[in-house]
Structure 1
Amino acid sequence: MCYRITILALLAIVGLINAHIYLEEKFDNGNWDDTWIYSKHPGKEFGKFAHSSGSFFNDAEADKGIQTSQDARFYAVSRKFDGFSNEDKPLVVQFSVKHEQNIDCGGGYVKLFDCSLDQTDMHGESPYEIMFGPDICGPGTKKVHVIFSYKGKNHLINKDVRCKDDVYTHFYTLIVRPDNTYEVLIDNEKVESGNLEDDWDFLAPKKIKDPNSKKPEDWDDKPTIADPDDKKPEDWDKSEHIPDPDATKPEDWDDEMDGEWEPPMVDNPEYKGEWQPKQLDNPNYKGAWEHPEIDNPEYIPDNKLYLRKEICKLGFDLWQVKSGTIFDNVLITDDIELAFNAAANVKNTQAGEKKMKEIQDEVQRKKDEEEAKKASDKDDEEEDDDEDEKDESKPDKDQSEHDEL
């Protein structure tokens, strides 16, 4: 028994040794910008990140991240780490996002670059390997971007992966495996998964319609036909509208001035619509014609769609109309379990944030009520003062009568 436990412990240690953490950033000190580089790309008005846990949090220190601090700004900051390839092993990209400003339009994603990126010139057109994370703009766009570069072109996922749109912290996790499968998790719960070839247009389709085939001219794909023996009844045709039989010419109607009077038109109760013959099953019906397919000569399989030959920089390159988003808990690794454990406490973080925010909201509600009451009392006082001024401006009745005498 002891021997078995020793072996299990040894395997666990070996697993930890073999696991790689390529980047881990918790922004747990104020010197974060010693290792993160701001872009100075010309022509962009970039905003600054603040080191903050926000206005409500679970743990003031542990929840500190970098927060967008200026409205209507581009943001571009990146960090370098030792370059790596994910060949023959999983790639896990994970980070947390907190849109505590109740974002209306703006990005919350990260980009992974190879080593060729000039960090001081990073901008929206800089080539990247992977773009992943939430993007919100109005009620119509609330998605998780999962974009891969393949042979110089960026490919968006073919599925609609919905992101969280509340004001609390959420962990976003992308797992790419060497068998060309993937998973997207939010708060450690799988929201999407599948195969890279199926869910992105990396490759030409395996099959295409045979260009040399076309529907035969005698192919009958009409399931029914008109009954040739069905005839339209003689009394079928009736006008859709008729003069109102109950209408009478107004007594004040002047034919010379108003013209010849005509009764208004009303729906004809005897109108039956356009006549159509009865339909019969078509004896020559062959079904819907399906275009034959052939193997696509341009299709070239690739069992390494997952492969990123070099990754060594991560950046936040985005635009926000309303600032306030906090990014934290950045992790790039090949250890899926490690990433899962790193995000395991998110529910407690959210609970602490909600509790603090509810207290703040209640305080604000009472403050708003007090201010509204003060404003109402002030309006009442001003109305009373106006009434007093009116009363003072009226002459005394006895004095007026005395003056008249």
Structure 2
Amino acid sequence: MKWAVLFAALVVAASAEVYFKETFDDSWADRWTKSSWKQSDGSAGDFKLTAGKWYGDEEADKGIQTGPDSKFFATYAKLDKVFDNTGKDTVVQFSVKHEQDLDCGGGYIKVVPASSESQMEAFGGETPYSIMFGPDICGYGTRKIHVILTYKGKNYLIKKDLKAETDQLTHVYTLVISSDNTYKVLVDLKEVASGSLFEDWDMLPPKTIKDPKAKKPEDWDEREEIADPEDKKPEGWDDIPATIPDKEAKKPEDWDDEEDGTWEAPMIPNPEYKGEWKPKMIKNPAYKGIWVAPDIDNPEYKHDDTLYNFKDLKFVGFELWQVKSGSIFDNIIVTDDLDTAKAFAEETWGKSKDAEKEMMEKAKKEEAEKNTPPPAAAGSEDSEGDDDDEYEDKEEPSATGSIEIPKEDGHDEL
């Protein structure tokens, strides 16, 4: 079994505890439950066990793959025991391969509390969760890694913009939430983000706010410049007209004063006219800047050192919508030790990634060669006009096409 291959990953740290580990072998369906969500209306997809089109080891690299297209997907499994992370780190890690070149859909995992157990039979977009983590891709506008944490019943999205991998290879996503209220996000075991739960989420209100009772003083001058009180309008400025008669204009020969009236030359702009006089502007010696209300302590702020704390993590699951299906999920681990998670990734993804990439590149090369027409023989009918074809305008196909995403209440990331 694949479990034997992973023995080395379990001895990295004697004090580490693994609450869930899944590599998806032939018995995976005994541990995972397909949700009834969306099944009644026919919009529910399914998962199948496969290594996909390219891999390093066909048996070891098997995972569960979404299918068919334009469906909702939902399945879940129980942790080995309820995870109370009080005083501990929380590490959630999994791999996903979008070998279908995902154009629009989710690739994230959810960690769900025991308090949601009564809703798990229909696990879906409405089911309360504690952690949502992983890539989400839709066109070129959305290519991010979601890190959503639940605090007091509300979901909060990380404020940083974390870039998801968008190629067709397997990538490992790792989230670490520490008991000191810091976090790390790793992609392929390389750190891509870190920081504070207090600063990078808005779970707590701001410590300070602008004083709502403060008012700008009446003598506060916000004018950066003022008209020069010493500047005077030149004499005769207003006597210069804006337009003057055109001196070069001549009365038409067929003009009849009795019938057409007295002829007058047309008016043209006066080159000496300088417009409305305005005094020059100078720096305002009384300028105090733009007034801003002073900061005061926010009466609604209450510090909480337990932002990291989830006391009843019990399930992991995938709840997704995909336009183009085919994503393969594998090698999930929930633990309290990052080194254990890293060792697990090295024993799985790490041993296969190079061979997988080589197999994909070979497959793409063979496909390109297969789809390339052979060169036409010289002098044949097919060769005629080839020089002209090189310069013809050719319409390139759209990279994304037209994608319509159904509106689903409760399926939003927040």
Q: Over residues 136-182 of structure 1, what are the superposed CA-to-partner deviations in whole Å (9 max), with x where a residue is unaligned?
A: 11111111111111111111112211211111111111100001111
The CA distance in 2 between the partners of 1:145 and 1:36, in whole Å, is: 24
Structure 1: state its 5+ residue gaps.
Answer: 1-12, 246-262, 381-405
User: Does structure 2 retain, via aligned residues, the 8 Å contact 1:130–1:148?
Assistant: yes
- Give the direction of change, closer, same or farther, for the CA distance of 1:96–1:239 in structure 2 (3 Å limit): farther
The CA distance in 1 between the partners of 2:233 and 2:170, in whole Å, is: 70
Partner of 2:146: 145
1:5-404 mapped onto 2 (5 Å cutoff)? 16-27=13-24, 29-41=25-37, 42-43=40-41, 45-81=43-79, 82-115=81-114, 116-117=116-117, 118-230=119-231, 234=237, 277-344=279-346, 346=349, 349-370=352-373
> What is the SS of the residue equivalent to 1:343?
helix
> What is the SS of the residue equivalent to 1:17?
coil
The CA distance in 2 between the partners of 1:62 and 1:326, in whole Å, is: 13
Larger CA deviation: 282-291 vs 321-330 = 282-291
Q: Over residues 218-250 of structure 1, what are the superposed CA-to-partner deviations in whole Å (9 max), with x where a residue is unaligned?
A: 10122222223445674999989xx9x9xxxxx
Q: Over residues 308-358 of structure 1, what are the superposed CA-to-partner deviations in whole Å (9 max), with x where a residue is unaligned?
A: 010110000010000111111101000111112223475664432332222
The CA distance in 2 between the partners of 1:238 and 1:25, in whole Å, is: 89
The CA distance in 1 between the partners of 2:382 and 2:94, in whole Å, is: 52
Q: Please identify which structure carries the higher helix content.
A: 1
1:269 to partner: Cα distance: 9.7
Larger CA deviation: 310-319 vs 281-290 = 281-290
User: Does structure 2 retain, via aligned residues, the 8 Å contact 1:238–1:272?
Assistant: no
Partner of 1:399: none
1:268 to partner: Cα distance: 11
The CA distance in 1 between the partners of 2:163 and 2:326, in whole Å, is: 21
User: Does structure 1 retain, via aligned residues, the 8 Å contact 2:70–2:325?
Assistant: yes
User: Does structure 2 retain, via aligned residues, the 8 Å contact 1:169–1:349?
Assistant: no
> What is the SS of the residue equivalent to 2:148?
strand
1:270 to partner: Cα distance: 9.1
The CA distance in 1 between the partners of 2:26 and 2:381, in whole Å, is: 47
- Give the direction of change, closer, same or farther, for the CA distance of 1:15–1:337 in structure 2 (3 Å limit): closer
Q: Over residues 168-224 of structure 1, what are the superposed CA-to-partner deviations in whole Å (9 max), with x where a residue is unaligned?
A: 111111100001111111111111111111111111221111122111121012222
Q: Over residues 66-119 of structure 1, what are the superposed CA-to-partner deviations in whole Å (9 max), with x where a residue is unaligned?
A: 111210000000001211200001000000111111111000001111123243
Q: Over residues 266-325 of structure 1, what are the superposed CA-to-partner deviations in whole Å (9 max), with x where a residue is unaligned?
A: x99999898764321111012232311111111111101100010110000010000111
What percent identity do the matched residue pairs reach? 49
Structure 2: state its 5+ residue gaps.
Answer: 1-9, 249-265, 384-414
User: Does structure 2 retain, via aligned residues, the 8 Å contact 1:44–1:74?
Assistant: no
User: Does structure 1 retain, via aligned residues, the 8 Å contact 2:120–2:127?
Assistant: no
What's the TM-score, normalizing by structure 2? 0.75
Larger CA deviation: 122-131 vs 13-22 = 13-22
Query: Aligned-pair RMSD on alpha carbons?
Result: 3.4
The CA distance in 1 between the partners of 2:341 and 2:140, in whole Å, is: 31
User: Does structure 2 retain, via aligned residues, the 8 Å contact 1:46–1:74?
Assistant: yes
User: Does structure 1 retain, via aligned residues, the 8 Å contact 2:110–2:319?
Assistant: yes
- Give the direction of change, closer, same or farther, for the CA distance of 1:220–1:60 in structure 2 (3 Å limit): same
